[in-house]
Amino acid sequence: MPIIRTTLARACPAVVAWALLSLALVALALPGTARAGKPAADQGTGRYIVAYDATGADAVTGGEVAAETERREATLGFEARHEYKRAVKGFAARLSDADVEALRRDPEVALVAPDLEVRALAATPLAAGEAVPTGVARLEAANAHEGHGSSSVAVAILDTGVDLDHPDLTAHDGKNCVGSGTADDDNGHGTHVAGVVGAHNQGSGVVGVAPGTRLYAVKVLDSDGDGLWSNIICGIDWVTANAAALGIRVANMSLGGLGEDFSTCAQDPLHQAVCTSTAAGVVYTAAAGNSGWNWGAPPPDVPAWFPEVLTVTAVADSDGRPGAAGGAPGCRSGEVDDKRATFSNFSRAAADDAHAIAAPGVCIRSTWPGGGYATLSGTSMAAPHVAGVVALCMGEGGGAGPCAGLSPAQVIQKVRADAQVQATTANGFMGDPLQPLGRYYGYLASARATTGLALRSHEPPPPAPPPAPPPAAAPAKPAPTCTTRRVVRRHRHVVKRRVVKRRVVKRGARRGKRVRIVRKVRIHRHVRRVRACR
């Protein structure tokens, strides 16, 4: 039976950071069937949605809905509150049990379904003193102001155990498959993984993707972070047996080793355990491995290669934002902001691509045994980010989410499709399918797209303009009231003119001049506008 070892140790013996070594084991498990953890939908409201047969011989067209509904209202005595003519042909109404019975017997009625309550998804304000790790921010699971509530389902952490009394975690003792005693963490790796999924939003430490989610510690790796397949199968067996009772719908496996060969569900006991647990409704997230190689090349990396799991590659991100402007991550050299992590395994075949997704896995801060915190890197850190997103998709705050009722295979494809829909070259990473590097790492998971909850950005308001200098010291006074008056003055003007006339004297008389003064009087008219203000 192969030994499950950290992929990093296998790939890069020179790397001495034990934190990275322990990353080889990635265990992030969400417990099985969701229904056990949720209250039953309230069917006692008396409100129903009735859909007419839309396709059969008795099909009711949109134009007939009003008349058909009116006929039944008259016969049975109910009153429809809504009528539907397009997406559904039918109506909604408060109905008695007898009405429901009668409508269910009605050949033209295809469906009588209880009208269940829904609740708006609301973000939770971030508690003062809480720090949002970069990976949580990068997936838009939380920002400096808001985050998500706890998942409605529980998550199993198949790992080195979890610090059961860490104040930032709601960790329950699940199963110790390595030795005796509780599944308390004697390594640190499992506690770190647990905090990425569900560290509380309680005002100290860090906040997880799905804060306060119930976590079940399943210890399958020893204090060195090593284990055997038999340990892993023991953990998966416990998850499968307890999923329904404990509401476990997600399980994380931040661990890996080399398989003997490619297998079907029936050909390999570890593969069979994963297939059976998945069929019981548990979604498994698995770390892609830290060897920087193709997980699908023989011999395959397992459980990353199993087609039934959601395999998570690692992205480097230093600032919790897209845009590659965060600078190099501080805890590890050689990595670039918003680029695939150099150590991350990847895929090269379509069948392997089909269950791959990416998440932050470099310099991730999370919980540590003894009530502390630590910063680690690895695909082990990437996988629990996605486990948290899947847990939120199952539902939060006790309600049902968009993944409730989906099979694990459907959940995996939904979360991958959400990531693809959200991706652009501006918000993705170097190495994703929009900016490929010749290898497949998948799209970056998106809590925003998968849960449908966009956190408010709370952008700071634009800075206020500096106050205008006070006007010159003139005392304030009321605006003057002004009137304009037209003044007309007339005056006489005397014009004098000397007129010289030549006088001619006949018969030798001398010539002479005669001067005459002519006077004329003119009247001048002056118009003036006089403006007067008071």
Subset of 484-513 contacting Ca ion (CB under 5 A)? none
In the complex, least distance from residue 379 CB atom to Ca ion, rounded to whole angstroms: 18
Which of the ranges 100-108, 110-118, 192-200, 270-278 carries the binding residues for Ca ion, by CB under 5 A? 192-200
Q: Which of 338, 352, 396, 432 binds Ca ion (CB under 5 A)?
A: 338
User: What are the φ/ψ torsions at residue 393 (nearest 5 degrees)?
Assistant: -65, -30
- Of the listed pieces 158-166, 358-366, 458-466, 509-517, which binds Ca ion according to CB under 5 A? 158-166
Decide: is 165 part of the binding site for Ca ion (CB under 5 A). Answer: yes
* Residue 219, H or E segment: strand 215-219
Size of the site for Ca ion (CB under 5 A): 12
How many CB atoms sit inside 10 A of residue 259's CB? 21
Q: Transcribe 220-284 into DSSP letters.
A: -S-TTS-EEHHHHHHHHHHHHHHHHHHTEEEEEE---EE-SS---TTT-HHHHHHHHHHHTTPEE
Closest to Ca ion by CB, 272 vs 435, is 435
Q: Report in angstroms how near the CB of residue 134 gets to Ca ion at its nearest.
A: 8
User: 229: which 2 tokens?
Assistant: 């397949």
Question: CA–CA distance from 353 to each of 344, 360, 384, 441 (Å)?
Answer: 14, 18, 19, 8
Sequential DSSP letters for 352-419: HHTTEEEEE-SSEEEEETTTEEEEE-SHHHHHHHHHHHHHHHH-BTTS--TTTT--HHHHHHHHHHHH
101-109, 168-176, 308-316, 526-534 -> range binding Ca ion (CB under 5 A): 168-176
- Position 361 contacts Ca ion (CB under 5 A): no
Taking residues 73 to 112 in sequence order and writing x for each that binds Ca ion by CB under 5 A, - otherwise, the string is ----------------------------------------
Nearest CB to Ca ion, comparing residues 47 and 321: 321
**Alpha carbons 445 and 436: distance in angstroms, whole number:** 16
CB of 130: closest distance to Ca ion in angstroms?
5
Query: To which H or E segment does residue 447 belong?
Result: helix 447-451
Residue-wise burial string across 352-375, b where 16 or more C-beta atoms lie within 10 A, e elsewhere:
bbebbbbbbbbbbbbbbbeeebbb
Task: Give the per-residue contact string, 288-327, with Ca ion (x = CB under 5 A; - = no).
Answer: -----------------------------x-x-x----x-
Nearer to Ca ion, 237 or 319 (CB): 319
User: Smallest distance from the beta carbon of 151 to Ca ion, in angstroms?
Assistant: 16
Provide the minimum distance between the beta carbon of 169 and Ca ion in the complex, in angstroms, as a whole number.
Answer: 9
Alpha helices in 56-153 (DSSP H): 65-76, 97-105, 134-138
Query: Quick one: 204 or 272, whose CB is closer to Ca ion?
Result: 204
Shortest distance (Å) from residue 398 CB to Ca ion? 20
Q: Which is nearer to Ca ion, 268 or 317 (CB)?
A: 317
Question: Closest CB to Ca ion among 259 and 369?
Answer: 369
Phi, psi of 173 (to 5 degrees): -75, 115
Structure tokens, 99: 């009405």
Least spacing, CB of residue 8 vs Ca ion, in Å: 23
Position among 115, 163, 335, 396 found at the interface with Ca ion (CB under 5 A): 163
337 contributes a contact to Ca ion by CB under 5 A? yes
Catalytic machinery residues = 159, 189, 380
Nearest approach in angstroms of CB 337 to Ca ion is 4
Dihedral, 48, 53, 58, 59 alpha carbons, nearest 10 = 120
Is residue 133 at the binding interface for Ca ion, with CB under 5 A as the rule? no
What is the rounded CA–CA span in Å between residue 199 and residue 457?
Answer: 22
Dihedral sign, CA of 30, 36, 38, 42?
Answer: positive
Q: How far is the CB of 233 from Ca ion (least distance, A)?
A: 27
Which is closer to Ca ion, CB of 126 or CB of 356? 126
**Does 365 contact Ca ion by CB under 5 A?**
no
CA distance between the termini of the chain: 106
Dihedral over Cα of 320, 321, 324, 325: its sign: negative
Rounded Cα distance between 262 and 446, Å, is 31
Q: In terms of CB distance, is 50 or 137 closer to Ca ion? A: 137
Q: What are the residues whose beta carbons fall under 8 Å from the beta carbon of 146, sequence distance 6 or more? A: 123, 124, 125, 126, 455, 456, 458
If the CB atoms of residues 52 and 429 are measured against Ca ion, the closer one turns out to be: 429
- Beta-bridged to residue 93, according to DSSP, are 48, 80
Query: Which three-class secondary structure state does DSSP give residue 37?
Result: helix
198-227 residues near Ca ion, rule: CB under 5 A: 199-200, 205
Both structure tokens of 94: 């408060």
Binding site for Ca ion (CB under 5 A): 163, 165, 168, 199-200, 205, 317, 319, 321, 326, 337-338
